[in-house]
Structure 1
Amino acid sequence: MNEAQVIVVGAGPVGQSAALLLARWGVQVLVLDQRPGRGSGGSKSICQQRDVLDIWAAAGAGRVAEEGLAWTTARTYYRDRELFSWTFEREGPLPPCVNISQARTEQILDEAIAGQPLIEVRWDHEVTGLSQDGSGVTVHCGQRLLRAPYVLVCAGARAQGIRASLGVAFSGESFEDQFLICDIKADLPGWESERRFYFDPVWNPGRQVLIHPCPGGTYRIDWQIAPDFIPTDVDISRKIRQIIGDRPYELLWHSTYRFHSRIASRMRAGRVLLAGDCAHLVAPFGARGLNSGVPDAENAAWKLAFALNGWAGPGLLESYHAERHAAALENLEITSATMRFLAPRTVEERMRRRAVLEGGRMEEVDSGRFAEPFWYVDSPLTTPEPGRPFLGRPPKGALCPPAPGVILPDLPLPGGRLREFTRDGFLVLLGDMCDSSLFVQVLGKVITAPLAVRGLAEMDGTGSLAERLGAGPDEAWLIRPDSHIAAIIPHAGPESVAAAVSRALGGSPDT
């Protein structure tokens, strides 16, 4: 047996992130993986979105953002004609996204784990089943039995046995077309900071090609290929040459795969939570795989920590399923629509796609809407405010105006970033007309969870933060430990803020 408070199953980037975030809350973590050790591999999941970089920075893995290649422009082509391009809006010190190989990301996360005494990693531990009771979960690794109060499963898409032992279904569909992916090293002037997406190029007629720049003069190329096509070395060389011409290049890695769209029926089963590919699979166009799995890990980590410390009400752990399952459903809807556009299955769908591409209308061409944080507008933890409605998804690449449920803008402050002040518990931000000392006095008596109260004017020393956020002088903003806005309360008093905190804690027993 062991003394872990949480057992994390799976040492991929989602499991690694979860372990680091749990340890940040002071939780003892045991990570299990069926492999004999960290394997080598190609680029795999390469494109990491700003809000995931923010999570990794909080977990002690800020080097992902530092080492990654920050591309800024996305170009879309139809055959040999550029249809349009778009760029990200910049928000704060972190880049909108970076490209970096999954193998290097895992190395950086491993290095952070090695410096964390609260985390133990055990390789060669295949989990063959789970059983649970009112006080904990027993993890079966063959004849070995391990036990902890909670288990977080990040074991990837092939965790059929674990899902079955929990009674969790994993329904969905698989797409017939294959995709060939290659990592190459080459000198491609002008391509170093641009993502390029080609519909129906002459060198891959009827299908698509996606090209991403990566660090160190390397590029990741994805070709959509026929279901029965088995590419040879000659085929791969020919395909690369069709794109880069006669320039010298080095082939670093290649593989083929198919896309799947599947979602778990439940992401919480008692004391067991599911995260990452174990809970949802989506097509990678838009980079919504790992960029959804890491927020799963963060959402699970702070809620498990609060449950273990007795800071939360009974609804907090269930809100993990409510919030992250809704996020998975949204990603599934968006990526499935993209795949229907990329791989039309009917004559009508093919005719519509051709008409859209020939028309070149940006708003109708679907090459994958880039990953965004899921906004918990309808979460049971969010206190709605009619004066601050959620305005819907902003245009591609744009930022979302603050509202309850939306993630807090990551604005620069003296000595850091705004979100760096949100990671140690709940944060109450107050306008100039609110008496901070009164809020501290009242909230300190009714809330046991970690909570800080700060005036907006004192946060940046200039008084401009409220203006940049659009916060009123009599408002209180309640920010969750994952930087999402739980409430924006006009004419705020300590009692109304305490009620919003109680709601955000799943019904705190101490209020």
Structure 2
Amino acid sequence: MPTTYTQPRYAFRPHPGSEERAPIVIAGAGLVGLTAALDLARRGLRVVVVDEDDTVSFGSRAICFAKRSLEIFARLGLGEKFLEKGITWNQGRVFFQSREAYSFNLLPEDGHEFPAFVNLQQYYAEQWLVEACEGTGLVDLRWKSRVTGIENRTDGARLAIETPAGSYTLHADWLLAADGARSFIRETLGLAFTGQVFRDRFLIADVVMNAPFPTERWFWFDPPFHPGQSVLLHKQPDDVWRIDFQLGWDADPEREKDPERVRQRVTQMLGPDVPFDLEWVSVYTFRCRRMERFRHGRIFFLGDAAHQVSPFGARGGNGGVQDADNLCWKLAAVLRGEAPEALLDSYDAERIPAADENILNSTRSTDFITPKNAAARAFRDAVLELAEDWALARPLVNSGRLSRPSTLWNSPLNGPDEAPGQAPPGTPAPDAPVLRGETRDWLLRQIGADGGFTLLAREVTPVPLPGITTLVLTDTPRPGTLLDHSGLVAARYGLSPGECVLLRPDQHVAARFTTAAPGPILAARDKALGR
């Protein structure tokens, strides 16, 4: 098959010696492992990454990067690359048989740096992460280095590493397992997944073509070109289009991947006069499951190694990126002596509910897309019929509840909510435009930029507090402040004059205050550090 992308090949470097110790080791140089490596390096920590391959992923894989993930990548210095290369979209359309049922907008309001989603092949994101990791001088990327054994110990993990130049032992004080859905580390330690495998299969086809479709998410139920099944269409860069065909459980995966058979399906969809090439083809099965716990001593599981969801809703890759975002600031705080090791227990406390939320939404989407019996199908089709004319039916349509960041409602790190507003503790910090002097900027670019906590105060200047950067928000220009020229910051945070919001290093709200009194603010900061 022709390709629009040339896989980079990264050099294997022989490792001298038979035994080594490293403070942090990441197993897996995929999207999630590389995000974690870059995040830790941005915080000044040295990281060793081992991966059995010597390149980035094949095929487009995770293509829908949600707004929250884009904000995370912006904090890591890659946000502009996603905007420049990716396909921006906010709009989606749902079709039933031969007609449109309705359309929707995922980000109807202005005043955000990033759109609801950017479509981008996963290999681009991984390539940029590799380059950024190398640029830090703190990430030791070890390609062609396969983990063949693991021992979980009280002082870390002992890894057996196999390379083309021989084997060696690597002792990790802390291990991040981001080695994918078939995680060798998880399986070797005998840690099971619990959940559900759905009896259905989908075909992914990356199709290269010049097509008249707009840059929107289009989803068909029971279309005339694929009767009785569902189809999803997304545009990617380089004139590559992702098409997902529902196949049914009885489909033979190997037969369905035959290029000529795939061509027939695509031709039935596009018509005989639309030229195209196939770039990548795969068949997948829906899985919604997770580990019971993500932390096992000094080993942490992230991404698909920890949890799996069906792809509709773009919750897999985005959830994994948010795992890294949640864990890395905590691990850095512990290693710098700013927080007790107990802080790391909050990774389970915060990310397991987030995974459950993704699994619940993904399961409901799967049940709607693939009805289990005649009654369920009759209900689904009736909802789709009604949705064309009745807005009240549209929330019942479920072609994939698209990824949104989890609110950490019950986090043990949440502080007081003295000034209840639009962004309670546990909420991902909303973005909004600001002016710094004459320079147009974005609020989130100021939060967590130095790796620490941030206090956002409206029309009041708090006393300097250790470990906390203060941002003063004003309604009129004043030197050294952020001008809320649109009023969106105050509105999105529900901030009245004199009130303050404490924000964590991962850009989540930690606490809200009616005044800038230092005692309660420092106490909330300490609670957020697990002290």
TM-score (ref. length: structure 2): 0.87
In structure 2, the residue matched to 1:405 is 426
Residues of 1 paired with 2:491 and 2:283: CA distance? 50
In structure 1, the residue matched to 2:11 is none
In structure 2, the residue matched to 1:17 is 35
Residues of 2 paired with 1:110 and 1:503: CA distance? 35
- Structure 2 residue runs without a partner (length 5+): 1-18, 388-392, 475-479
In structure 2, the residue matched to 1:48 is 65
The Cα shift of 1:165 comes to 4.7
Residues of 1 paired with 2:216 and 2:484: CA distance? 37
Asked if structure 2 preserves the Cα contact closer than 8 Å seen for 1:3 and 1:28, the reply is: no
In structure 2, the residue matched to 1:67 is 85
2:355 maps to amino acid? A
Matched, 1:355 2:382: yes
The Cα shift of 1:249 comes to 1.4
Which of 127, 136, 139 is 1:107 aligned to?
Answer: 127
Q: 1:356-395 to 2 correspondence within 5 Å?
A: 356-360=383-387, 361-385=393-417, 388=420
In structure 1, the residue matched to 2:477 is none
In structure 1, the residue matched to 2:493 is 469
The Cα shift of 1:453 comes to 2.0
Seen in structure 2, the aligned counterparts of structure 1 residues 505 and 95 have a Cα distance that, compared at 3 Å, is same
The Cα shift of 1:244 comes to 1.5
In structure 2, the residue matched to 1:174 is 197
Asked if structure 1 preserves the Cα contact closer than 8 Å seen for 2:21 and 2:170, the reply is: no
Matched, 1:488 2:512: yes
1:421 maps to amino acid? Q
In structure 2, the residue matched to 1:420 is 445
Partner SS, residue 420 of structure 1: helix
The Cα shift of 1:3 comes to 5.3
The Cα shift of 1:57 comes to 2.0
1:355 maps to amino acid? A
Which of 213, 218, 235 is 2:235 aligned to?
Answer: 213
How many residue pairs match? The answer is 483
1:113 maps to amino acid? C
Asked if structure 2 preserves the Cα contact closer than 8 Å seen for 1:199 and 1:209, the reply is: yes
Asked if structure 2 preserves the Cα contact closer than 8 Å seen for 1:14 and 1:294, the reply is: yes
The Cα shift of 1:95 comes to 2.2
Pick which of 238-247 and 207-216 moved more. 238-247
Seen in structure 2, the aligned counterparts of structure 1 residues 455 and 166 have a Cα distance that, compared at 3 Å, is farther
Residues of 2 paired with 1:108 and 1:45: CA distance? 15
Q: 1:250-289 to 2 correspondence within 5 Å?
A: 250-289=277-316
Asked if structure 1 preserves the Cα contact closer than 8 Å seen for 2:226 and 2:269, the reply is: no
Residues of 2 paired with 1:135 and 1:275: CA distance? 20
Could you report, residue by residue, the CA deviation over 1:247-285 in whole angstroms, capped at 9, with x for unpaired residues?
111222211111211101111111111100000000011
In structure 2, the residue matched to 1:395 is none
In structure 2, the residue matched to 1:499 is 523
The Cα shift of 1:61 comes to 2.3
Residues of 1 paired with 2:204 and 2:293: CA distance? 32
Q: 1:5-404 to 2 correspondence within 5 Å?
A: 5-35=23-53, 37-39=54-56, 41-62=58-79, 63-89=81-107, 90-141=110-161, 144-159=168-183, 161-166=184-189, 168-189=191-212, 191-229=213-251, 230-231=255-256, 232-245=258-271, 246-360=273-387, 361-385=393-417, 388=420, 401-404=422-425
Could you report, residue by residue, the CA deviation over 1:426-445 in whole angstroms, capped at 9, with x for unpaired residues?
0011232x4422xx2xx43x
Asked if structure 2 preserves the Cα contact closer than 8 Å seen for 1:64 and 1:108, the reply is: no
- Structure 1 residue runs without a partner (length 5+): 390-400, 445-449
Residues of 2 paired with 1:59 and 1:326: CA distance? 25
Seen in structure 2, the aligned counterparts of structure 1 residues 340 and 459 have a Cα distance that, compared at 3 Å, is farther
Asked if structure 1 preserves the Cα contact closer than 8 Å seen for 2:418 and 2:512, the reply is: no
Residues of 2 paired with 1:228 and 1:494: CA distance? 64
1:500 maps to amino acid? A
Residues of 1 paired with 2:434 and 2:461: CA distance? 22
In structure 2, the residue matched to 1:394 is none
